[in-house]
């Protein structure tokens, strides 16, 4: 069997910086024609100028034609006057609740009054076709943080009906159900949230390389996400949330949050969709839906997957990937 994907796109990717960026950009470009690059670097991408520079650096390191779309990091100190979109207009402005995940210490206080002060800024984004991308978690109990954020998503969607609000890496049925209640809510779904549950993470032995934020949830939550993905619902799109951390950061006394899925993304997605009789929907999930939601152009490329086994690497430059040493039914045709 051959599966030909036209310009697949990753709508949520962590490429990091420095030496990690060198490897991550090359790896991403071999499987995707483009990606939205997350801005939670050190320092974060807080200005259009910084985003433009990062875009240039990512694309210069790509092994194949690749379009990088860095998001703009929103902080409580972000000027509320319109940013200079003539320098760089992002597809999305990224809102991280302060300290919710990796390198988000400079994120936003998610209290209702504080979010309200960004009202004119959000309207300016809507007028310019810039989406609001959100890591939607509170600081509550780990399994409830995302569900607790649902009222904030709903309030933002109601207050700014012309603003596209992207619920990033949804992991719970609560947010899957919220999609249909507001016309301007959209979502990304990761591969790992389609594959795993909390039992995979902690049910037997703790598996640190499956720890991410938001954490994987229950089988019922996974089933809700699979229903959306395997139908390629037009309001959902693939976003890997692949986030490389060195083995020392994952296996130390304080395990870093992030799953390095980049090396296996398309082969494992093809395997999963084939197992669930959904191959015909894979193109929409990994490309077409994102193009409709964000309205952008990508390099015209075809990535061909074949049903020949691929063994995931054990380690890449000190980073342990998802599915390490696992045999996957599909591989990318060279």
Q: Which residues are catalytic?
A: 241
Q: What is the C-alpha to C-alpha distance for residues 5 and 266, in angstroms, rounded to an integer? A: 10
Two structure tokens written together for 293: 């939601």
List alpha helices for 150-231, DSSP H. 150-159, 173-178, 191-195, 198-202, 219-230
Q: Are 8 and 287 in contact (CB under 8 A)?
A: yes
In this structure, the number of other CB atoms found within 10 A of the CB of residue 190 comes to: 26
CA distance readout (Å), 253 to 94, 174, 250, 321 = 29, 32, 9, 19
Q: What is the C-alpha to C-alpha distance for residues 89 and 125, in angstroms, rounded to an integer? A: 10
| Cα torsion 221, 226, 232, 233: sign | negative
Q: What is the C-alpha to C-alpha distance for residues 167 and 158, in angstroms, rounded to an integer? A: 14
Phi, psi of 280, rounded to the nearest 5 degrees: -65, -15
């Amino acid at each position: 069997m051959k599966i030909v994907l036209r310009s697949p796109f990753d709508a949520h990717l962590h490429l990091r910086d420095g030496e990690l960026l060198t490897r991550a950009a090359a790896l991403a470009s071999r499987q995707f024609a483009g990606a939205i690059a997350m801005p939670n670097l050190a320092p974060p991408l807080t200005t259009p100028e910084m985003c433009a520079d990062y875009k240039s650096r990512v694309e210069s390191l790509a092994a194949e034609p690749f379009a990088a779309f860095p998001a703009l990091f929103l902080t409580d100190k972000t000027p509320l006057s319109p940013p200079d979109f003539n320098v760089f207009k992002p597809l999305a402005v990224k809102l991280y609740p302060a300290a919710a995940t990796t390198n988000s210490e400079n994120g936003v206080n998610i209290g209702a009054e504080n979010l309200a002060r960004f009202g004119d800024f959000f309207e300016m984004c809507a007028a310019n076709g810039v989406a609001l991308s959100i890591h939607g978690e509170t600081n509550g109990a780990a399994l409830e943080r995302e569900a607790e954020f649902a009222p904030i998503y709903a309030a933002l969607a109601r207050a700014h009906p012309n603003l596209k609000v992207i619920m990033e890496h949804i992991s719970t049925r609560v947010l899957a159900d919220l999609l249909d209640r507001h016309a301007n809510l959209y979502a990304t779904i990761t591969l790992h949230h389609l594959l795993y549950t909390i039992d995979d993470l902690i049910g037997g032995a703790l598996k640190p390389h499956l720890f991410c934020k938001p954490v994987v949830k229950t089988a019922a939550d996974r089933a809700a996400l699979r229903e959306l993905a395997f139908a390629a619902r037009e309001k959902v799109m693939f976003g890997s949330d692949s986030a490389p951390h060195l083995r020392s950061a994952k296996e130390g006394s304080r395990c870093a949050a992030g799953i390095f899925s980049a090396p296996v993304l398309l082969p494992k997605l093809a395997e999963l969709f084939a197992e669930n009789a959904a191959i015909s929907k894979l193109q929409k999930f990994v490309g077409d839906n994102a193009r409709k939601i964000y309205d952008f152009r990508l390099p015209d490329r075809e990535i061909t997957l074949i049903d020949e086994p691929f063994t995931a690497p054990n380690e890449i430059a000190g980073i342990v990937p998802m599915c390490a040493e696992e045999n996957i039914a599909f591989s990318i045709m060279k």
